Amino acid sequence: MAILHLSLISTITCSQRKATRASQDSVKTQKTLIATDSVSSFRLCPCGRRHFIGAMPLLPLAPSYAASSSTEDLKRLRPRKPDWYDELFAWSMDTSMEQYEKEISSYKMKLFNNLVGKAEKVLEIGVGTGPNFKYYSNIPNVSVLGVDPNAKMESYARKSAAQAGLKPEYFSFIHAVAEAIPLEDSSVHAVVGTLVLCSVADVTRTLNEIKRVLRPGGVYLFIEHVAGEDGSFLRLVQNVLDPLQQVVADGCHLTRCTGDYILEARFNGGADINKASLSSLAYLSSHVYGVAYN
């Protein structure tokens, strides 16, 4: 996800695809709970953010992906940007998100409690500068594979991991995209993605990859900003700003209905999807968060 300031690029990574609504029949087939957790409500919407590929000693890699496919997918799905752009974006994400992280912290604590005693191998897509590392501190023996298409994020992520007490041998940064994760099938206990699906090139393919690498009984934790309700003033603003947002926020889209995408992915155990509205994000205020069960 990304936040766009008029005077400075200050964003969160996301990527686009036209949002398709889940039909009522498909929703009924899911074990899905949709709850409201804020004073304002909005339509579920799929958000896309970049995902990445890589190799981690603690997690089994699929050799064919790790060698050629991942590099090719990275170049195709996330065309190379100037170093100054990637560095500026990484810096802005590291320095401009403090207020947002304070407001979202209670939601994140709820989600990460689902991993305690249940997950030792975790894949985080769109790991960015590592704002979630502090939530892993209560998970015994956890190892984290962080995937991100922006290589400039690595130094920030490693610093955050160290500050959170995550030993270097238990964190690996992978420069790759989530649409083609270079891990074997059923290789991780959990996948985490926060403010990611807004900027992936292909949301459906990303969700299919998440399902592929998750072990049976594994969980996918997500928090995503989404489109406002049709006809609302928020949606009007998002429609106007969306083209500019994609340019300055590394592919982030403001008008995706990510909740619908997650429902349509048909996780084996269904998905619990909740709504939230965050005051610190203005035109990115509408959020969905929850857990999908593989």
Question: Looking at the domain assignment, is residue 187 inside a domain?
Answer: yes
Give residue 69's pLDDT band: very low, low, confident or very high (50, 70, 90).
low
Task: Compute, in degrees rounded to 10, the torsion defined by CA atoms 16, 249, 49, 27.
Answer: -60
**Stretch among 70-84, 139-153, 154-168 having the lowest mean pLDDT:** 70-84
Range of the domain at 193: 24-293
Per-residue CA distances from 262 to 37, 98, 210, 267 (Å): 18, 27, 11, 8
Query: Domain count of the chain?
Result: 1
Per-residue CA distances from 160 to 114, 164, 265 (Å): 22, 6, 32
Neighbouring-strand partners of residue 56: 59
Q: Which tokens in the block code for residue 100?
A: 């947002």
> What average pLDDT does this structure show over 56-64?
40
Per-range mean pLDDT, top range of 2-11, 79-88, 281-290: 281-290
Question: Looking at the domain assignment, is residue 70 inside a domain?
Answer: yes
Nearest to 64 by CA among 181, 163, 231, 149: 181
Q: Which tokens in the block code for residue 122?
A: 């975790």
**Stretch among 29-33, 66-70, 249-253 having the lowest mean pLDDT:** 29-33
Cα 106–chain centre separation: 17
Asked if residues 137 and 167 have their Cβ atoms less than 8 Å apart, the reply is no
For residue 278, pLDDT beyond 60: yes
Question: Looking at the domain assignment, is residue 248 inside a domain?
Answer: yes
Q: What is the pLDDT of residues 123-134, one digit of tens each?
A: 999 999 999 999
Give residue 36's pLDDT band: very low, low, confident or very high (50, 70, 90).
very low
Give residue 54's pLDDT band: very low, low, confident or very high (50, 70, 90).
very low
For residue 55, pLDDT beyond 80: no
> What average pLDDT does this structure show over 230-244?
92
**Stretch among 47-56, 189-198, 248-257 having the lowest mean pLDDT:** 47-56
Nearest to 278 by CA among 93, 106, 134: 106
> What average pLDDT does this structure show over 36-56?
35
> What average pLDDT does this structure show over 248-255?
86
Give residue 230's pLDDT band: very low, low, confident or very high (50, 70, 90).
very high
Q: What pLDDT, on a 0 to 100 scale, did the predictor assign at position 70?
A: 65
Query: Other CB atoms closer than 10 Å to residue 109's CB: what's the count?
Result: 12
69 or 226, higher pLDDT:
226
251 or 254, higher pLDDT:
254
Question: Looking at the domain assignment, is residue 161 inside a domain?
Answer: yes
Question: Looking at the domain assignment, is residue 143 inside a domain?
Answer: yes
Question: Looking at the domain assignment, is residue 9 inside a domain?
Answer: no
Q: How are strands ordered across the β-sheet holding 188-194?
A: 33-36, 271-277, 286-293, 214-225, 188-194, 121-125, 143-148, 171-175
Q: What pLDDT, on a 0 to 100 scale, did the predictor assign at position 118?
A: 87
- Alpha carbon distance 265, 44 (integer Å): 14
Question: Looking at the domain assignment, is residue 68 inside a domain?
Answer: yes
Query: Other CB atoms closer than 10 Å to residue 67's CB: what's the count?
Result: 13
Give residue 232's pLDDT band: very low, low, confident or very high (50, 70, 90).
very high
Q: What is the pLDDT of residues 146-161, one digit of tens each?
A: 999 999 999 999 999 9
Cα 129–chain centre separation: 13
**Stretch among 59-68, 182-191, 281-290 having the lowest mean pLDDT:** 59-68
DSSP 191: E
- Alpha carbon distance 16, 11 (integer Å): 15
Question: Looking at the domain assignment, is residue 3 inside a domain?
Answer: no
For residue 259, pLDDT beyond 80: yes
The contacts of residue 111 (CB under 8 Å, 6+ apart) are 221, 223, 289, 290, 291
Q: What is the pLDDT of residues 164-192, one digit of tens each?
A: 999 999 999 999 899 989 899 999 999 99
- Alpha carbon distance 238, 254 (integer Å): 6
Give the CATH number, domain containing residue 216.
3.40.50.150
Average pLDDT for the chain = 80
Nearest to 97 by CA among 69, 123, 64, 130: 130
